[in-house]
């Protein structure tokens, strides 16, 4: 009988682990913009430089191919450090984490970072 009680708990935990961090709901997404408006918005959302982030000497921010701050665990791009839950410094790089779960994992074992 106890084995059957464990199954729902395991299913629930697997959904949390497989689901990852919360993402923006479609209803919360902004309305589509014209290409002119989008170009202006993209320019305004340019990722901050390492100097603008105020990184200590010798550290560089981990970024994706587009130059945006990037959580390597959930592969989530961020427009600013303010969007990050926190960061972990490892091997000369500052890794900005998209959620508390990623931050906890990276703090516990930084060797999982690229």
Q: Is residue 16 part of a domain?
A: no
In a 13 Å sphere around the CA of 63, the CA atoms on its Cβ side amount to 16
Q: Structural domain tally of the chain?
A: 1
7 occurs within a structural domain: no
Strands, E assignment, 20-111: 60-61, 69-71, 76-78, 86-90, 93-97
**CA nearest 97: which of 88, 89, 80?**
88
In a domain, 111, yes or no: yes
pLDDT of residue 75 exceeding 70, the answer is yes
Residue 110 lies in a domain: yes
Q: Give the pLDDT confidence of 23-74 residue by residue, as tens digits.
A: 443 334 444 444 444 444 554 467 889 999 999 999 999 999 999 999 999 9
- Residue 90, domain member (yes or no): yes
User: pLDDT at residue 11 above 60?
Assistant: no
- On the CB side of 43, CA atoms within 13 Å amount to 6
Mean pLDDT of 2-19: 51
| pLDDT tens-digit readout, 88-103 | 999 999 999 999 999 9
**Domain boundaries, position 114:** 59-114
């Amino acid at each position: 009988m106890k084995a059957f009680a464990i199954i729902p708990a395991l299913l629930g935990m697997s959904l949390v682990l497989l689901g990852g961090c919360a993402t923006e709901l479609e209803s919360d997404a902004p309305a589509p913009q014209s290409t002119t408006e989008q170009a202006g918005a993209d320019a305004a959302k340019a990722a901050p430089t390492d100097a603008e982030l105020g990184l200590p000497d010798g550290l560089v921010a981990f970024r994706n191919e587009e130059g945006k701050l990037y959580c390597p665990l959930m592969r989530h791009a961020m427009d600013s450090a303010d969007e990050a839950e926190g960061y972990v410094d490892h091997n000369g790089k500052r890794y900005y984490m998209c959620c508390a779960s990623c931050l906890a994992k990276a703090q516990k074992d930084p060797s999982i970072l690229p």
